[in-house]
Structures are given as C-alpha cells and as structure tokens.
Structure 1
Amino acid sequence: MKIFVNNIPVNIIAKTDLKEWDVYHTIKKGDNKMISQLDLMGDILFVDLAETELKVFFLLMQDKKFKKATSITFAVNDYQSAKKLVKDQFTIVKAAGGLVLKKDQYLLIYRLKKWDLPKGKSEDGEKMKVTAIREVEEECSIKVDLRSKIGVTWHTYMQNDKRILKKTNWYLMDCVDDKDMKPQEKESIEKVAWFDKTELPSLLKNSYPSIVEVFKKFNKKFDHKIKLF
C-alpha cells in the first residue's frame, strides 16, 4: 500500500516482500527509539517498527514533519494488521477519475496552479465507474467511454480538522465528443487541454506525485512507454 502524505510516498509492505536493501539511504530497525526523535532524509526503510511508533509517525507526517525524506517504507510482519491500523486513523473518502485519451493525446486539467487529472468524490451508493465517468464529464464538458481500470492511489489531507485518507480509483477512458470542452469553473478548474506524450514530462513536473503515480501505473499495466521526467 502506497499513501502520499504531504506529497511524500509512504509505502507499507510485507517484510517477506522486501527484496532489496541497498536502494535505501537509511535503514532503521525497531530499537525503542521514538520516531519523533529521528531526522529522516532521503529514502528511508523501517523494519520491525512497533505499532505505536507507526501511529506516531502518521501523526507527525500530518504535521509536516520529516520534510527532508524522499520516500519512507515500512516493512512489517503483519501487513493486513498494519494497513488496518493506518486506515483506522483517518476518515476514508472514496473518489474516482480518469486518464482520457484521444488518439495519441492525453487530457489534463489546470487547477490551483497544478496540472491534474479530472476526478471527484463518489456520491452515496454510486459505483466507482459511474463516479469516474460523471466527474470527468462534469469537470471537462466532454463525453467519454470507460475502457478499463488503471489502479488506485491513496493520499491524505486535513479538512475541517479531520484527517482524511482519500482512495481514488482511476480508469482509462476514450473521448467520444469534445466539441463543447471547457473547464468547470465552480471546481476552480482554469484550463482543460490535450497534450501529446512529448509534452507530458514538463507538465508533470508541475503536478502531484499521486498523478505521476497514475501515469506510472498506466505505463506498467498497458505497456506504454511514456517518459515521465
């Protein structure tokens, strides 16, 4: 499970799935030293961390601690238990969005000074596929056909003093009609535009890590060779 906390990827994996150790800058094993005392830099691996320390870590991350870390990985003995422990600290919000194609072009939106993909929260009882189509069509004023699922991203944020963990389901879509394409201004979207793959690297430098993750999943699942940076 990968969660983006303040745009830093935090990975939770089973210890048995840990294959490489030398890719990490720092390795910390459970040693009873409080995580709040650590100065984390680069790619960090924690092994055999106590559950209490894992809970403290996410509280500190939400307060924008450990800003020098590039990525953080927890290798745990009980993956399902650790995942539940993390989720239980947040209010879960479900959302869905789309990576829309038109021949060899990709649809991006510009919102809050970042390039993004169209997405939004699910309504009560709404299936994720329905949410994805509705949000894309509302935010961009286009018509789409849903092709298949790309994957899921997780990221955290604060809202009304609540700690939110958003699960976003992403789908690959084809544009079938964009003659009336325009940004949904009430959602603070300033631009909706098509780009070819040669333009994506520069645009994704001004995007969110979770959006880059969607393109990585797209590349892997559909064997595309989009250069992201």
Structure 2
Amino acid sequence: MQIAIENGYTKLVLGSCTSRIACHVLSATVKGQGYSLAADIQYADARWEVPVVLPLRDCPLQELKILCNLDSLKIVDIFNETGAGINGLVSSFVKILQEENPSRECTIVRTAGKLTPFPFNRIPEANVDDADLVSQRRQKKFNLKPIESLPPESFCPICNSPMSCYGNAESRPELFRAACCPSCQYQILPDEASSMDQFYSFLPESIIARAKNGNQKWIREKIQDCLLLDDEDEV
C-alpha cells in the first residue's frame, strides 16, 4: 500500500482467488473477525487510501493452474509446508474438503458473499472509469446502499478492520486496547501493560495517529448529547 501511494497508483490489484478467500473466510471466523469478514471478500475495498480490487475472486486455484499450463506459465509454490497456526490448519482443512467435493471452496465463498457489504466496498465515483463498469454492475447486483444512507464505521488502528463500536474504555483505559478490534486485542497486543512501550516502538507513526484519531471519535460519540451545536448559543 505504501508503494502504491508513493507511486501515485489509483488501484491495488490482488491475486486472491476463490481458494484463498475460502480459507480466509474460515480463519477469520475462528479468529473472531466475523463482523469485518464481509469487508475482505468483496470485489472492491476502498477503505484504504488506494482502493483494492479482487478480479480473481470467482476463479478457483485449479482453474488458474490450468490457465497457466495452457499459456506455458511456470507455477511457483511459495509456501510448501503447512504451518501449525490457525491459517495453516484451516488451509489443510479446506484442502481436504476440496478433495472430497471439488465445489466446496466455491460454496464457502458464495455463503460468505451473502453477508451485507460495507459502504466502502465500492470504488469511489471520482475514480470510476470504463474499466470499472463490471464493478458497477456487481454493485447493482448486490444492491449496495448509498454511502450517505449508512452509518460511519470505526476501524481498528492495527488491521484496519471495521468495527461496530469501540471497546469499553472504562475497563480498558489504555489507548490501543480501547481502539483495537477484539481479534487484535487478544492475538496481537501483549498481555502485560509493561510490554506496551516496546510494542509501540515496532509500530509506524501512521498507526499511532490512527489510534488517537479513532479514540477521539469514540469519546466524541460518547459525549455527543452534551455537546453544543454550531447554531446553539453558549450557556
């Protein structure tokens, strides 16, 4: 994303296919990222500064390998060994399911595709060109509501996943724990408060700033009823 911003790219195209997205659906569910799952599996994702598109979303890995063989393209397997973490276990599980039923991956993705997309799962109108006509037709098919008719979302400062609300700041007064999604709170943030300073040292300044802005937004929403409007006289 940083390279795309520095070079002025208008879109970031990822090669995530049906097989990889099917694994992500199950692993995200296991990790407690069910609320934000719909954001990651759409054809377009404009929550980032450079919109992300997934043109191979409907293409299973087997079809892509056949296409590469027909075009005499070399196939390189980057990860040959299955890891012991959640992602590795899910990949092995989906592979077994696929061997039993070749359509299982497509079924997983189609089932997850019934989740309601977020307002940022569309390409901004200012960036729409002739190449985005297909994306526009897909948006009509999935009946995406206008952005102005949907409530604004809060985003996790670490993984940028959308959240329905921020954590309880009273029980989690620390900035990051109040602003992060539950998945990052329990999987990425250190358990000991004394380790947070070292954790901060590994983070880019952009993430720190995003957490501060998000926390300010959460506080403003909590005291919204006590704020004076612009057209109200001060007391």
Shorter-chain TM-score bucket reads under 0.3
Larger of the two Rg values belongs to structure: 2
TM-score norm. by structure 1 comes to: 0.24
Structure with bigger strand share is 1
Structure that is richer in helix per residue: 2
